[in-house]
Structure 1
Amino acid sequence: MEAGLSSDAVVQYGTVRKYTLLLLFCVSQFLDAFNVSALFSAIPVMTVQLDLSASESVWLVSAYQLTFAAFLLCSGRIADIYNPKYAFISGAFALGIFSLIAGFVHAKVGLFVLRAFAGVAAAMTIPSSLTLLVRLFPGEKEQARAIGVYGGSAALGNVLGLIIGAIFIEYASWPWLFWLAALIATPIAFVCIVLVPAQPPVTREENKIALLDLPGISILTSALILLIFGFTSSGTESWSSAMVLAPLIISVFGIAAFFVWEARIDPKKAAFPPRTWRYPNFAILFAIALSIFLWFTTIFLLKITMWQEVYGWSAINAAIHFLPVGVIAGPIMLFSGPYTERFQKKHIILFSQVLLLISSIILAFADAPGKYWSRDFPAFVVGAIGGSLLFVNANVAIFHNTPPEIAGTVGAIFNSALQLGSAVGAALITSIQLTVDKSSTTDSPYKGREAGFWFLVGVISVEAIAVALMYRVTLHRTESVESDAATVVSDEKDQEKEKKTDSETGDLDVTVELQSAPLSRCPTLAVEAPSSELKEVEEVVAPVSLVADSRDEISPSTPQFTHTLLLDATSEEGHVGQHDDNH
């Protein structure tokens, strides 16, 4: 198995403990978002007190997001090959310590470094908590709702972070933003030591440290630092200057070198396993993830600095004007799951992207304080609906299209894309804003920001076209295989072995075997079972991928292997697992 777990990797939790842990993980996710959004309210004040330029101020946010994004890949591997319980605890504790120290540092370079270390610590909490969530809620619908609640806490963190940050700026000081994070993260770490039960043992004989792909992470982190440095430098230097071109060119080669490295090393050691690209819709969902947080970051960065620095609004006044985003996005992320399950993920994703497009276009014309109710407010409402729906459904879809045994790695990649798109996008959009403002022949302070929103429109448009043309509708959680088709036949021996358990639970476990098949053949499901237990079994056709509820990993490199599927024996119609909205 990918994670080296024992066969019964699903830990049984009591109801109270299960939902208490969900609450703690949601608070942790809230905190990760808070650590970014709270800084937006503080940037104008911190820029003055720390003597930062406009381009340097981006590092207050990007330093955290950059290391967060890069080390999510490594922490995903840690969650898979080590114990996710202690990965989460160590990350939460380290985040508290770095945040505590950051509150006492007033040198800009030292603060940037501590923000970067805090990003590494926070990265440890996301994949591990997602791995634990998958084990807490193994049922598909229950899992989708839990992920929705988990995602909703990030939306609340994004908006409440603005308000909390503004309150501290108005009535205390910016160091309290970091001290509050320490006061939340540290107790969570200690509570989880007691509350999270022991996890299934990981059975590996290899050197675990060698499986972390530290060289690959180092290459990627260095390349991303140079990329953001190049973008931020363009705010003060010409795009044709060596200060801008050199880091940008080197970063492009560095990112290419990262993917070459990942393709050449053992897939078991890769932080970003090349085979993940072969799972249905993975590439499209990865691209979508790059733009989700980018939309939120763009409106916060461009609008809050405009309101405070140009219009002279107070930090609290500016933050309150963002309340529609949180009021709309939070409930949708928390409660939209049961309703969106009725529709295909492709349609929901396209609908969400259209809403983001409409919102971004409206914001491009919101160039005056008197246009808040006519432009900003409707744009925030429409965009919040689109962004929250896109986050929840893209998050659920990427787990449905990948094996649960690599949930930690997949969760790390997805969340890394969220943060990476936000960090790099913020630097790029700030660069566009400053460049346009410098070259503008008008006195309007909104020209640069308008260009930033039009850039956002272009990014979302390209992704929407890609979804419309390339997104494949799949039946259920998918296991990718090397061949384009597979023939599914029952394994009678294992089936007989499970009959006793099946009669007690009402579910019929059918162990099936996959074998390579020619391209012209499609997989069929052949099951031998008493008619009293299974009323009907239909032929399942899935031209490229097997769709199933997964209990054991399918190794794409193995030409023949066994795999367990769960058939509902009590339903009027035979089907594989539970029908989801994509069936």
Structure 2
Amino acid sequence: MESVSNTPTIVEVENEKSSEPAIRSTALRSLLLLLFSLAQFIDIFNISALFAALPVLTTSLEMNAGQAIWVISAYQLTFAAFLLLSGRVSDVYHPKYSFVGGAAWLGSLCLAAGFTKNKFGLIILRALCGLGGALTIPSALNLIAHLYPEEKEQARAIGFFGSSGSIGNMLGLIIGALFVQYTSWSWVFWFAAIMILPIAIICIFIIPLDIVPETTASQSVEDDSPFEKVEKLKGLDIIGVTILTAALILLIFGFTSGTTHSWTTAIVLVPVILSFFLLIAFFWYETRIPEDSAALPPKMWFYPNFAVLFAAALLPYLWWSSGFYIFLSYWQTAIHWSPIMSAIRFLPINVVSFFPLIYAGSISRFFGLKRTTVFGLVLTLISTGLLTIGNSRDRYWPIVFPAFCIGTLGCCLVFANANIAIFRVAPPHMAGTIGAIFNSALQVGAAVGISIVTSIESNIEKKTEGGAQTFKGRSAALWFVFTVVALELIAFVLFFKEAATPIEEVETKEVEVELEKGQSVAREGKTDT
């Protein structure tokens, strides 16, 4: 009769449903969504603002090219590498603690970074800032998923949250240029601190703990009991996450080293090769975890469309970061536009990006998620091809401006629809982990992409008369981005299945089957008696 006691009964299932928190007032949900979106804005601002500030900062702290690129890459590296661990923390423990702690950590370190006058100290602080940023994103997405359980509202909320990151990506360039031109580079960091610290303080008081139901690991035991603590630690999957984190760190370090070293040197090849072996070790280890374990389930990697959506997440930030780097450096070094005038020329992207991100869910419901995403990839491909010939001042308005608008629209459709879809293929209790994986893919794509782009550009310029004053190296780098977009398009067309059964339906059917088995065993037991 032991099998009967281990099988969930109909009463237990109903009790679980009734224990779910009531939907909060519209005002509270809207305020929390706004605060989470502002935190997302600051996380992305911390990267994009430095593209405009980097030339002045480099001169001020007497940094060489390799050290300068690490001011950006150090944040991206730790941000991407620790997202998965923070996602597990927000799933196993309450996401409120992760969000508030991450926001407070990020704000405090940004404040310190503004006062730093040592280049190595700044790089270390930037790496530590990435840890704080990594804690805020998955926990915010986890809270949003529970604040907006209804599908349409959730899609709209996630779209709004995603649009704040896009706006931070674009406005960061302009705000960073304004601070550099009229004050100092320190205000780039102080601005982030002034924004994020009040958010952490406010959220301490207004995020209710009962937004998220009790975690599975602690449902059957007393609060704060030793057994509960052990089960929660198991749920973090420390070994698996550590292996994957080490693999990401080595992968990003290897590719970022390619910006200042030859791609055939040991400092590039060894970390990249080791990262691939660690990735293999990670998947081998995950397959050895029992399916009923509280740790990261191996089957997550095989959810319907999960792999192709993860691949789609590699593209948007890669495309934007590459465009920022290529054209900001070209406009300032070759055309001699000021930092603020160069940054303003990216302003149209802000206008184009806002509405597609918010209404992406409505667009995909009307046209279909696959058609909408494929259309976005086609727009991005056309745009990237046009940018390869944007090699003069006179071509900004007829070629570069429309290309950026078209490409931004395309990337927004890819970003928003992939973000919405990846939550639909995973169960609600994995929301933090899924959000972490998606955002890790965004950052990995940006970090690896910008490294390859800068390496291609520098290698071509070394062989070209005129060097950085020409557009040949930048054009070659843009053709690499074009190839990436084309591969993404082919993969999505071939492998994305719009009719795939949502994982919630699959798991519901599994529960129903288990209930039927349990009831059958119970009836047989009574008959025997």
TM over 0.5: yes
Aligned partner (choices 195, 213, 222) of residue 246 of structure 2: 222
Structure number with higher helix proportion: 2
* Alignment partner of 1:334 is 2:358: yes
- Alignment partner, residue 549 of structure 1: none
SS at match of 1:473: coil
Give distance in 2, aligned partners of 1:513 and 1:249: 45
Aligned to 2:496: 471
Aligned residues: 490
Percent identity between the two aligned chains: 47
| Alpha-carbon separation, structure 2, partners of 1:477 and 1:79 | 23
Q: 1:62/1:214 Cα in 2 relative to 1: closer, same or farther (>3 Å)?
A: farther
Please say if residues 230 and 248 of structure 1, whose CA atoms lie closer than 8 Å, have aligned partners that are also in contact.
yes
Over 3 Å counting, the alpha-carbon distance change for 1:18 and 1:242 in structure 2 is: closer
Contact 1:231-1:431 within 8 A present in 2 as well: no
Say whether 1:352 aligns with 2:376. yes
In the alignment, is the contact (CA less than 8 A) between 1:66 and 1:221 conserved in 2? no
* Residue 425 in structure 1 maps to residue 449 in structure 2: yes
Aligned to 2:484: 459
Give 2:425's aligned amino acid.
N
Cα contact 2:370–2:496 (8 A) shared by 1: yes
Counterpart CA distance in 2 for 1:234 and 1:456 is 17
Q: Which amino acid in structure 2 is aligned with residue 189 of structure 1?
A: A
Verify the 8 A CA contact 2:289 2:298 in the aligned structure 1. no
AA at the equivalent of 1:145: R
Q: Is the 8 A contact 1:363 1:376 kept in 2?
A: yes
State the shift of 1:312 in Å: 2.0
**1:241 lines up with 2:254 in the alignment:** no
1:129: how far off?
1.0
Aligned with 2:115: secondary structure? coil
Per-residue CA deviations over 1:173-223 (Å, capped at 9, x if unaligned) read 111111111111111011011111122333522522343234444433433
2:502 & 2:161 partners in 1: Cα distance?
20
Tell me the residue number matched to 1:112. 123
* CA deviation after TM superposition for structure 1 residue 251, in Å: 2.8
1:555-579 per-position Cα deviation (integer Å, ceiling 9, x unaligned): xxx99689xxxxxxxxxxxxxxxxx
Shift in Å at residue 390 of structure 1? 1.0
Kindly state the Cα deviation for residue 265 of structure 1 after the two structures are TM-superposed.
4.2
Q: What is the CA–CA distance in structure 2 between the aligned matches of 1:325 and 1:153, rounded to whole Å? A: 13
Tell me the distance in 1 between the aligned counterparts of 2:274 and 2:299: 26
Distance 1:64 1:474, change over 3 A: same
Please name the residue that 1:142 is paired with.
Answer: 153
In 1: Cα distance, 2:340 partner to 2:131 partner? 30
Residue 513, structure 1, aligned to residue 518, structure 2 = no
Q: CA deviation at 1:412?
A: 1.0
What is the rounded CA distance, in whole Å, between the counterparts of 1:114 and 1:9 in structure 2?
40
> Structure 2 counterpart of 1:177, which letter?
V
Rounded Cα–Cα distance in structure 1 between residues aligned with 2:122 and 2:518:
52
- In the TM superposition, what is the alpha-carbon distance from 1:461 to its structure 2 partner? 0.8
Unaligned runs of 5+ in 1: 489-511, 516-557, 563-583
Q: Match for residue 198 of structure 1? A: 209
Cα 1:125–1:223 shift into 2, 3 Å:
same
User: Partner amino acid for 2:106?
Assistant: L
In structure 2, relative to structure 1, the CA distance for the partners of 1:315 and 1:335 (3 Å cut) is: same
Structure 1 residue matching 2:304: 3-state secondary structure: coil
1:18-97 aligned within 5 A = 18-97=29-108
Q: Which residue of 1 aligns with 2:340?
A: 316
Give the AA of the match of 1:450. Answer: S
Which residue type is aligned with residue 459 of structure 1? V
Distance 1:97 1:363, change over 3 A: same
Partner AA of 2:386 in structure 1: I
Report the alpha carbon displacement of residue 82 of structure 1 after superposing the two structures with TM: 0.5
Question: 2:190 corresponds to which residue?
Answer: 179
In 2, Cα distance between the equivalents of 1:44 and 1:355?
Answer: 32
Q: Structure 1 residues 139, 217: CA separation in 2 closer, same or farther (over 3 Å shift)?
A: same
Do 1:262 and 1:270's aligned partners in 2 also have CA atoms closer than 8 Å? no
TM-score normalised by structure 1 residue count? 0.79
**Alignment partner of 1:158 is 2:182:** no
SS of the residue corresponding to residue 46 of structure 2 reads: helix
Deviation at 1:487, TM superposition (A): 7.3
User: Secondary structure of the residue that 1:472 maps to in structure 2?
Assistant: coil
- Give 2:199's aligned residue: 188
Q: Is the 8 A contact 1:55 1:236 kept in 2?
A: yes
Aligned equivalents of 2:435 and 2:337: distance in 1? 39
Aligned AA (1:21): L
Task: Pick closer, same or farther for the CA change 1:237–1:559 going to 2, 3 Å.
Answer: farther
Asked if the contact 2:380–2:407 (Cα under 8 Å) also holds between the matched residues in 1, the reply is yes
1:523 corresponds to = none
Whether 1:437 and 2:448 are equivalent positions in the alignment is no
Give distance in 2, aligned partners of 1:559 and 1:237: 62
Distance 1:424 1:9, change over 3 A: farther
TM-score, reference length from structure 2: 0.87
> How far apart are 1:156 and its partner, in Å?
0.9
Superposed CA deviations along residues 6-53 of structure 1, whole A, max 9, x for unmatched, are 543344211111111111111111111111111111111112222233
Is 1:122 the counterpart of 2:133 in the alignment? yes
Q: Judging changes above 3 Å, is the alpha-carbon distance between structure 1 residues 347 and 561 closer, same or farther for their aligned structure 2 residues?
A: farther
Rounded to whole Å, the distance in 1 between the matches of 2:353 and 2:306 is: 25
1:400/1:476 contact within 8 Å kept? no
| Structure 1 residues 233 and 416, CA gap change in structure 2 (3 angstroms) | closer
Q: Which residue in 2 is equivalent to 1:369?
A: 393
Moved more, 59-68 or 21-30: 59-68
Name the structure where strand makes up a greater proportion of residues: 1
RMSD: 2.5
In structure 1, C-alpha distance between the alignment counterparts of 2:287 and 2:117, rounded to whole Å: 42
Paired residue secondary structure (2:470): coil
Of 379, 387, 397, which aligns to 2:421? 397
CA apart distance, 1:74: 0.8
User: 1:399, 1:407 within 8 Å by CA — same for their partners in 2?
Assistant: yes
Tell me what 2:524 maps to: none
Q: Which residue does the alignment assign to 2:12?
A: none
Q: Which amino acid aligns with 2:451?
A: A
Which one of the candidate residues 132, 144, 147 is aligned to 2:143? Answer: 132
Task: Give the one of 434, 446, 450 matched to 2:471.
Answer: 446
1 CA distance for matches of 2:294 and 2:415?
A: 29
SS class of match (2:170):
helix
Structure 1 contact 232–430 (Cα < 8 Å) conserved: no
**Alpha-carbon distance between aligned partners in 2 of 1:307 and 1:9, rounded to the nearest angstrom:** 54
1:277-335 CA-to-partner distances (Å, cap 9, x unmatched) read 22110000000001111111111111112212332221110110001111100122123
- Once residues 135 and 384 of structure 1 are traced to their aligned partners in structure 2, the CA distance between those partners, rounded to angstroms, is 30
